[in-house]
Structure 1
Amino acid sequence: MFVLALTYVKPNEEADKHMEPHMAWVREGYAKGWFLASGRKVPRTGGVVLAIGPRAEIEAYVAEDPFTVHGVAKYEITEVAITRTAAGLDVLTN
């Protein structure tokens, strides 16, 4: 599993200008079966995506995020080797 932590490097107003295409990118990540959960950081300094899939493909997909393309946010990708989950979350250990 991967934790995709994005941090805004431009003001929220700039992020808002690219929010619609970013959210289309997020929806596509879910459609691909890669994204499991996502949301904004509180306070609003960026966001987090929980993802599964091949690392190289996830990294390439992050590079296509409109926030990345337009320099709005930087991503930190952390791989986590899940060894235990709550009932129903076994997809995270694959």
Structure 2
Amino acid sequence: MFVLDITYTAPVEQVDAVLADHVGWLDLQYAAGAFLASGRKEPREGGVILAVARDRAAIEEIVAGDPFVTAGVCAYRITEFLATKTVPAMAEYRQELPA
């Protein structure tokens, strides 16, 4: 599982100019099963996405397609973690620690 930590690198007005495209991209990632939750940070300085993928390279490919990235208005920090405990509704995403 991955935490995608987004930090805006441009004024919010520039972020807002591509926000609709970003939301459309989010919708595609939810439909593909890659994203589990997302939202903006408070204060509004970026956002956070909880994602799943087969590996880091797949996540990096997904992130590269974000309109925020292609417009140059944000930076991503990608953190991989093993979700060994979850709420029951997310049981299918639980992972085992390596042996």
The TM-score with structure 2 as length reference comes to 0.90
Residue 28 of structure 2: aligned partner: 28
Provide the C-alpha distance between the structure 2 equivalents of 1:33 and 1:58, rounded to a whole number of angstroms: 12
**SS state at 1:88 partner:** helix
After superposition, the C-alpha distances for 1:39-70 in whole angstroms (9 at most, x for unaligned) are: 00001000000000122111111011111011
The superposition leaves residues 60-90 of structure 1 with CA deviations (integer Å, 9 ceiling, x where unpaired) of 1101111101110000000011111222221
Unmatched 5+ stretches in structure 2: none
Once residues 7 and 75 of structure 1 are traced to their aligned partners in structure 2, the CA distance between those partners, rounded to angstroms, is 6
Question: 1:81 — aligned with what?
Answer: 82
Which structure has the larger Rg?
A: 2
What residue identity is the alignment partner of 1:62? V
Query: Does residue 4 of structure 2 align to residue 4 of structure 1?
Result: yes
Paired residue type of 1:26: L
RMSD over equivalenced CA pairs, Å: 1.0
Question: Quick one: distance in 2 between partners of 1:34 and 1:91?
Answer: 13
Task: Give distance in 2, aligned partners of 1:48 and 1:91.
Answer: 21
**Counterpart amino acid of 2:65?**
E
Identity of aligned residues (%): 48
Amino acid of the structure 2 residue aligned with 1:49 = I
Q: 2-side partners of 1:74 and 1:86: how far apart?
A: 30
Structure 1 segments of 4+ aligned residues over 6 angstroms from their partners: none
CA shift at 1:3, angstroms?
A: 0.3
**How does the TM-score come out when normalised to structure 1?**
0.94
- Give the AA of the match of 1:88: A
Structure 1, gaps ≥5 residues long = none
